[in-house]
């Protein structure tokens, strides 16, 4: 009887050891976010909060899996550095403060040239499709205003599905994808 009790006690101890170690196995190592801050600072050449440096620390709520290699930093792209761990597949964006060595010259946004609207919503239009050997056309109604070259929706009647067409000239739209004729 004592042999059975000893075996049972050994099995129970093994079970408790496994159950006790379960949470240790389940714990996942997370990436050191201070390390990511340092890598970004070294790459961009400025510390957190300085012109050209990270705008703030990497968000401390992130729980990124630990990268087996050194994460790579690229950028700046659109005012941010991209930190990536290729072996695991995660990537984060770290916003940068303006004014650093990487800052681009100030850009003046070009105002788009206003094209005159030649088709207005509700206008009847001729939808044309075809090539050099043939042409097919159908009377439609414009769902949107459009200038020459714009893509607008047209439909046969209110219940029909819209078709996307390119404005060619007053009253004529063309189905995209066909060669010019």
* 163-169 and 151-155 strand pairing: antiparallel
Instruction: Match 């059975």 to its residue by tokens.
Output: 4
- 6-58 pLDDT, tens digit each: 666 556 665 555 555 444 444 458 888 888 888 888 888 888 888 888 888 88
The residue with greater pLDDT, 45 or 5, is 45
Widest distance between CA atoms in the chain: 102
Which range, of 28-32, 59-63, 90-94, 110-114, averages the lowest pLDDT?
A: 110-114
The 72-77 sheet, strands edge to edge: 72-77, 80-85, 90-95
User: Do 181 and 131 touch, CB atoms closer than 8 A?
Assistant: yes
Domain ranges of the chain: 33-95, 117-174
Tell me: domain 117-174, CATH 2.50.20.20, correct?
no
**What mean pLDDT comes out for the span 92-120?**
71
pTM: 0.41
Instruction: Match 């930093």 to its residue by tokens.
Output: 73
Q: Which two structure tokens, joined as six digits, stand for 35?
A: 């390390």
**What mean pLDDT comes out for the span 132-143?**
87
């Amino acid at each position: 009887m004592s042999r059975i009790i000893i075996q049972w006690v050994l099995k129970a101890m093994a079970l408790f050891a496994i159950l006790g170690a379960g949470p240790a196995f389940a714990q996942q190592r997370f990436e050191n976010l201070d390390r990511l801050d340092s890598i970004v600072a070294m790459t961009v050449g400025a510390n957190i909060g300085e012109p050209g440096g990270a705008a703030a620390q990497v968000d401390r709520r992130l729980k990124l899996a630990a990268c087996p290699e050194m994460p790579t930093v690229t950028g700046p792209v659109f005012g941010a550095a991209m930190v990536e761990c290729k072996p695991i597949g995660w990537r984060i964006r770290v916003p940068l403060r303006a004014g650093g060595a990487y800052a681009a010259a100030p850009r003046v946004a070009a105002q788009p040239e206003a094209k005159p609207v030649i088709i207005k919503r509700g206008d009847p239009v001729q939808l044309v499709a075809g090539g050099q050997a043939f042409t097919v056309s159908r009377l439609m109604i414009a769902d949107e205003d459009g200038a020459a070259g714009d893509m607008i929706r047209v439909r046969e009647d209110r219940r029909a599905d819209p078709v996307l067409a390119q404005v060619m000239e007053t009253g004529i739209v063309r189905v995209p994808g066909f060669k010019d004729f």
